[in-house]
Structure formats: C-alpha cells, structure tokens
Amino acid sequence: MRLRLEKILWSLLFLALPVQTAKHFWPGYSFVNNLPVDYLSPVISFTDILIFLLLIIKFPVLPKLNKFHLIIIFFVIINILSSISPLVTLYQYFHLAFYYVFFLRLTQSLKVSFHIMAEYLPLSAVWSVILALMQIVKQSSLGGFLPWLGERPLSLFSLNIAKISLGKLGIFLRPYATFPHPNAMAGYLLVTYFISLYFITVNKKSIVPQLGLVFSLAGILISFSRSVMVSLGLAFLIINIKNNRIIGILISSLALLSIIYFSINIGSQTSLTDRFYLLEKAFTIISSRPLLGIGLGNFSKFVYSPSPTGFYLEVQPVHNLILLFVSEIGLPFFIMAIILFWRAGIYNIFHSDICLQLSLMSVFLISLVDHYWFTSDSNLLLLILLFTLIKFDINNYAQKS
C-alpha cells in the first residue's frame, strides 16, 4: 500500500511539474511601495505538498556534517543577520533546504522513481505545449479551470505580457502555458527535450519519451525564446562535432548563425534597455556590499523605480544568476558555494551521458541572460531532477569502470 501511494505521488509530481497552483502569503516585507511582489512572497505550492507527502512516507538519510557544511551554515547565518530583510532571506534558505531534502529523497528512491520519471516527465511537456498552441491560436489565455493550474490572464493588449513582432505579419502573443514567462517555458522544454533523449537511449522501446522529444522541440520553436534557441543550436553543433558529421556541422553552423541573426533583429529595444538597467543595479549592489551582499531574495527591493524607458519596471531580479547570487549573498559565500559544488563531484559531469551534459551546459548559458532557473519553482525542480540523473549516471559509470 505504501509503495503504491508513493508511485502515485511520484507520477503526479512529474506530471504536474509545470503547474503553478500555489497559496501566496503577503506579510509586510513582501510589499514594495505598497505593491505586492511575487518574488518576496512566501508560497505553498501544489508541488510542495506532493514533495511533503513523499517526505512523510519516507524521509531521506541525511549526510554527516563535515567542515564544509559547517562553513556553509556559518555563511548562511551571516547572510541572514546582515540581510536588508532578514525574514525574506530566512524564508529563501528554508525553501532551498526543503528542496535539498527533496533532492536527497529523489536520489535515494531512483529504483522506484526512475521509470516513473521516464514516463511522466515527458508528458508534462506534452500537455504544456498543447496548452501553449491553444493560447497562440486564441491569442489570449483560455480560462475555465486552467487558472487553477496556474494559467495567468493573457491578452495581446495587456502590459508586461510577452509579445513578438514578426514584421508585416504583425504582433503576436507569445505562449506561456502555465509558466510565469514564455522564456521559463522554453527553458523547461529544452531540458525536458534532452532528458527525454536520455530516456530514449536508456529504453528505446518506450514511446512516451519520443512524444516528449517532439512536443518539446515544437514548444521551443513557438516560444520565440532567443536564449533557448541559441542554446539548442549550439547543442546540435556540439553533437555533430562529437560524431564527426561534416554535413551536420555545416547545417548546424548555418542554423546557429541564422538563430543569432534572428534573435538580434527581433529583440525588443525596451526589454534590452530594462535588462541593462537591472545589470547596473546589480553592479551597484556588488560594489557597495561585496562581502555580505543584501541577503538572499532581496534584489527585487532595489529595482522598483522608473526605468530608462519611462515606465516603472516590473519588479524582478537581474537577468544573470551569477550577478544575482553575488549581489545577494556576497562574493566570499558565492566562491565557497562553487567550491562545495566542485567537491560534490560536479567535475565528473563529463562521465555522464552527452544529453545530460548538454542540458547542464544549456542551463548555464541561459543563466547568464535570465534568472528563472532559480526564481521559478517549476524550473528549479526540473534542475533538481537533472542533477539527480547526472549523479545517477556518474555512479553507473563509476561502477562499470
């Protein structure tokens, strides 16, 4: 009975990963200039509840504390105490600790969850892309029961809704599915594409990962996400170089150059100006508080002011995860975190499957121009799944060697 319930919960979690259903809480510190800010609000999401139930069924074995763990705990305490809003920072670390325990739970349960993930994670991409296609056709949100899954109100005439200008064809709404932004949807689909490809190499008979492959690629194309398209083009080029396919290298190179040209010419000048404005804010914070930062999760408190385009910016973090982390936790803590990742064995990534390597490479490249791999729960959970598969594949390689 317990095993059956666990399998049901794993299936629901992998299938519902893109779902944004959540209860937001609005304490005083989550407001900026009397406006509620999502990035500052404590949240209990549907996926959090599923993870909590999985932890109740079986709590993972925690690693023994060593000196590096104690150093990290020391930096966390200092970051909370020196934060401009300690409660925001405290919640952020609690959230990360919760996801770390989930990572341990997942890595210790792969005998049960691996094949469930192979079937249900690709299906999450399938239903997301179907919803995205319907939003494109309607050029608005669909409504009905979908807001309960996290679909936000979408209209071609709404402010702060992502659109694409296709010259004489006109301006079109970019699809969100249930994600907070089309770019976050595209990033999710890109990693799901490579994970589906990995599952195909493990089990070529299963049709579900093949469906995930097709739908993920289609969703990436209709998202018009420039960073994701460039990452995908670069990944295809690397695959062709690795396999020494001359024609494939030429085609991939031309495709990548075309994507880059397309990305430059369809870019919104307003969006670029605002992104540079946020970069300037990040450098200002780093130069004024290089050692301690402003506290994890607090960047949004610094950016509510008129942007260079004359409008108030949508309150959000800087579109570069390295700058975001350094500005919030300080340079010493950031360096220590990188060292901890290295000691955890991330340098063995080249002993894992090429699909997983390309996934992680894509995440890194996208993180240089966007923040959703940390600020969107759906993307962060998918990243945890990716790290779990990388760890699993590296362990398999070590056993075979």
What's the rounded mean pLDDT across residues 72-98?
A: 95
pLDDT surpasses 90 at 9: yes
Q: What is the pLDDT of residue 311?
A: 46
Q: How far apart are CA 225 and CA 217, in angstroms?
A: 12
CB atoms < 10 A from the CB of 265, how many?
9
Q: What is the rounded (10 degree) CA torsion for 359, 362, 367, 368? A: 160
Residues comprising the chain, all counted: 401
Q: How far apart are CA 112 and CA 10, in angstroms?
A: 9
DSSP labels, 148-182: GGTPPP-BTTSTT--EEE-GGG-EEEPP-TTSSSH
What's the rounded mean pLDDT across residues 329-348?
A: 84
Q: What is the pLDDT of residue 246?
A: 85
pLDDT surpasses 50 at 307: no
Listed in sequence order, the DSSP H helices in 267-376 are 269-288, 321-329, 331-343, 354-367, 372-375
Which residues, 6+ apart, have CB-to-CB distance to 170 below 8 Å? Answer: none
Q: Give the start-to-end residue ranges of the domains of the chain.
A: 225-267
First-last CA distance in the chain: 38
Q: How far apart are CA 337 and CA 262, in angstroms?
A: 36
Return mean pLDDT, the chain: 89
What does the pLDDT look like over 142-180, one tens digit per residue? 989 999 998 999 988 887 888 888 777 888 899 999 999
Q: Which amino acid is at 294?
A: I
Q: How far apart are CA 332 and CA 198, in angstroms?
A: 36
What does the pLDDT look like over 10-53, one tens digit per residue? 999 999 999 999 999 999 888 887 878 888 999 999 999 999 99
pLDDT band at 213 (very low <50, low <70, confident <90, very high): very high
Which residues, 6+ apart, have CB-to-CB distance to 121 below 8 Å? Answer: 14, 15, 17, 192, 195, 196, 212, 385
What does the pLDDT look like over 252-268, one tens digit per residue? 888 888 877 777 666 55
Q: How far apart are CA 58 and CA 109, in angstroms?
A: 9
Q: What is the pLDDT of residue 265?
A: 67
Q: What is the pLDDT of residue 32?
A: 81
Residue closest to 365 by CA, chosen among 284, 260, 292:
260
Q: What is the pLDDT of residue 268?
A: 57
Q: How far apart are CA 62 and CA 125, in angstroms?
A: 32
